[in-house]
Structure 1
């Protein structure tokens, strides 16, 4: 096996300020979603994606400002725009939502009036929630091209996937990256002006797709990278030229979520990759759904620089590896590194390939 590339560079402007990050379970669960809808090539024994959560993030700044990054699915998704609901009804996926993010916040004493802004990573149905439940003082923050493509929203624009009620009476802020700073190879907007939280331009999957980068500690610096739908499975991100499957893979995983991971070692996964025409240092999958697939793949390659660094924890919106492993809201996620959450969740996705591995073993 060839050697890995050196630890990648992912430069972030220096800063002394942090934000508190809480990972919120939006209670969204999406099942019976065919793998081929989202990713390619196929994987033997993996007809469907694993049951997908949809994470939201509460970002709290020293100024008292509180942001939400993504909202999951509204409790009654039938209230979404017809351009969305008609397709969901035809696809017949299993979609359940116990309570919305706003209810989770209020259950733990965070008043809705405290939320100064909602960041939509993008406009797809499983990230929108219902902003109309938030007061007019809560801004809605979107990515480049959103206004031109979707305003004024449904029903005035009958084919719009977003609703007029989502932004009626509130400030709709579209991030302009023309004079942006840089984090890694990405354009970024320093939201609070102190280096504690960046909104990141991550194009490809959808018009105006955004990510977030939160500084969680200083001296040393650590970050949480909120990836949205930059990928839909860890196998679209890993392995990479910077991050190989460990030879002793069983010692790099947590017992419960990875009980199905076959042993021994990484060799069987390299063989699995070879049978699918892929090398050991490429992700298992490429994106199969999105606005601009080549651009989405370039964005993933840039994000691999962050994913390959042990001071950055990359979390995409639908990552099931967090379930049962990490502390969720109202507990803080800032101490993720000392609690080894990145290492404990990094390779748990390999359990999804157990049937394919067993077939290889014969």
Structure 2
């Protein structure tokens, strides 16, 4: 195992961070549609949830990073609705609430939101921005405007609607603006709040304009919001190889109450994966080699103990991380990273038993 490179982040203010369960549920998605090689016993993805992150600066800015699926998802642009009805291979998709309503139910006025950030334009991340007042700007990644404007109905085949941004500022982060643009580790970055509390990172490959978020939770700890740069995990890596013993609930019936790491190493080898490679590579995306390059880059912050990496559909945080309206700034002192870091291995229970 190689010692992880230090992930140097400039000093700045602390943001308040809260994680919202968007009530999104996507079931019966066959694994090969999004990643491979096949894992025995895991031919269908575990139920897919979706998180939204509420990030608040001391300067009054409040951002939402992703919005999940709205409850009226059939009102997407026709191109998206057609896909969900005819081409989504029988996926079971549901959502009970708009994020705006979840905020209101807990006493947070949607009118207080100043920024809505889309990690990318896919339907399970964009929610319905029209449920927020027009003063909230919609923030997207590089290349978005050229590829997707105008939205539906002006452009019939667009996957986004004009109502998503009509009347509000649509801000495309190019990472070339002189003010706020910088480099963090291997990532082009942009200081969204201009106070060092919340950065947007250029994480290309999965989709045009894909962004990650990096919020400062204490002076020297951070939460990284991965969007869809991965769909399962970025581990193991050359910085974080598999542990010698895996102590998880799914493996308590093993002799000694744990599963030897060598069992998972054998799974990797049988599937043609290196011991320092993630279990999966993406099979779906705009540029698969570039998506893999991004995953490799993300392995650096993921291996740093002061960074908590959470991707958009990361079910491993469920039951460990406190949900909205609680904040998650004290994640390190509560030991959440250690509890969830290898938890994804439970999804391989059938493969291990086989």
TM-score, L = length of structure 1: 0.93
SS at match of 1:87: helix
Q: Counterpart in 2 of 1:324?
A: 319
| Distance in 2 (alpha carbons) for counterparts of 1:122 and 1:272 | 32
In the superposition, relative to structure 1, how do residues 357 and 340 fare at CA in structure 2: closer, same or farther (>3 Å)?
same
| Distance in 2 (alpha carbons) for counterparts of 1:260 and 1:73 | 37
How many Å apart are 1:14 and its aligned residue? 2.4
Matching of residue 238 in structure 1 with residue 239 in structure 2: no
One of 140, 144, 155 as aligned partner of 1:146 = 144
Q: Counterpart in 2 of 1:113?
A: 111
Q: Counterpart in 2 of 1:195?
A: 196
In the superposition, relative to structure 1, how do residues 321 and 260 fare at CA in structure 2: closer, same or farther (>3 Å)?
farther
Q: How does 1:217-296 map to 2 (within 5 A)?
A: 217-218=218-219, 221-234=220-233, 237-250=234-247, 253=248, 255=249, 263-296=258-291
Q: How does 1:64-143 map to 2 (within 5 A)?
A: 64-90=60-86, 91=88, 92-143=90-141
Q: Counterpart in 1 of 2:348?
A: 353
2:251–2:349 CA contact under 8 A, matched in 1: no
Q: Which deviations, in whole Å up to 9, do the C-alpha atoms of 1:265-303 show, x marking residues without a partner?
A: 200000111101112111101111000001000100000
Q: Which deviations, in whole Å up to 9, do the C-alpha atoms of 1:10-49 show, x marking residues without a partner?
A: 111123x110000000010111011000001111111111
Q: Counterpart in 2 of 1:337?
A: 332
| Distance in 1 (alpha carbons) for counterparts of 2:251 and 2:315 | 12
Q: Which deviations, in whole Å up to 9, do the C-alpha atoms of 1:44-93 show, x marking residues without a partner?
A: 11111100110000001101211100000011110001111111112220
Matching of residue 51 in structure 1 with residue 26 in structure 2: no
Query: Structure 1 regions of 5+ residues with no counterpart?
Result: none
Q: Which deviations, in whole Å up to 9, do the C-alpha atoms of 1:118-165 show, x marking residues without a partner?
A: 000000000010001111111100011111111110111111000010
How many Å apart are 1:258 and its aligned residue? 7.1
Q: Counterpart in 2 of 1:184?
A: 185
- Which is further off, 37-46 or 6-15? 6-15
| Distance in 1 (alpha carbons) for counterparts of 2:102 and 2:174 | 31
| Distance in 2 (alpha carbons) for counterparts of 1:93 and 1:197 | 34
1:260–1:351 CA contact under 8 A, matched in 2: no
How many Å apart are 1:343 and its aligned residue? 1.0
Q: Which deviations, in whole Å up to 9, do the C-alpha atoms of 1:180-216 show, x marking residues without a partner?
A: 2011100000112221110111100000000100011
| Distance in 2 (alpha carbons) for counterparts of 1:270 and 1:28 | 33
Q: Which deviations, in whole Å up to 9, do the C-alpha atoms of 1:86-115 show, x marking residues without a partner?
A: 111122201111111111100000111100
| Distance in 2 (alpha carbons) for counterparts of 1:230 and 1:355 | 26
Query: Structure 2 regions of 5+ residues with no counterpart?
Result: none
2:251–2:258 CA contact under 8 A, matched in 1: no
Matching of residue 300 in structure 1 with residue 295 in structure 2: yes
Q: Which deviations, in whole Å up to 9, do the C-alpha atoms of 1:222-269 show, x marking residues without a partner?
A: 0000000010112xx01000112211210xx4x4x7769984320000
1:259–1:351 CA contact under 8 A, matched in 2: no
1:258–1:348 CA contact under 8 A, matched in 2: no
| Distance in 1 (alpha carbons) for counterparts of 2:253 and 2:352 | 11
State the superposition RMSD in angstroms.
Answer: 1.4
| Distance in 2 (alpha carbons) for counterparts of 1:344 and 1:100 | 30
1:120–1:127 CA contact under 8 A, matched in 2: yes
SS at match of 1:83: helix
Structure 1 runs of 4+ off > 3 angstroms?
Answer: 257-263
| Distance in 2 (alpha carbons) for counterparts of 1:347 and 1:89 | 35
